[in-house]
Amino acid sequence: MAWTYLILAGLCEIGWPIGLKLGGVDSLQRMLWIVFAIACMAVSGFLLLLAQREIPMGTAYATWTGIGAVGAFLAGIFVFGDANTAMRWASVCLITAGIIGLKLA
């Protein structure tokens, strides 16, 4: 169950940068996106707490931030039109390899 908590925590970790990005625009929905970002942070942190009861802290933290980083990277490219270069993809593949390595170790 701990790995399920950790994966869910990582997915929530993707939500807060998206919320902050959308909350940074001047619109009527600004506060809703900021509240969404804060809620994602809280849920993500709580799920990480649950996961760390069984998963070593270093592994859990690196996996948590890695899922968030890769997810934010993908959202940036596919939703926000961020740069889509081979070097960025190679770098995110290294992050993913590190997460897999920690899981296997």
| Residues 44-86 pLDDT 10s | 999 999 999 999 999 999 999 999 999 999 999 999 999 999 9
HSE-up (13 A, CA, CB side) for residue 61: 3
pLDDT digits (tens, 9 = 90+) for 84-98: 999 999 999 999 999
Residues 31-44 have a mean pLDDT of: 96
How many domains are there within the chain? Answer: 1
The pTM (predicted TM-score) of the whole model is 0.87
Dmax (CA) of the chain: 47
**CA distance linking residue 63 with residue 3, whole number of Å:** 10
Does residue 27 have a pLDDT over 80? no
Q: Which amino acid type is present at position 64?
A: W
- What residue numbers bound the domain in which 36 lies? 2-104
Tell me if residue 1 falls in helix, strand or coil.
Answer: coil
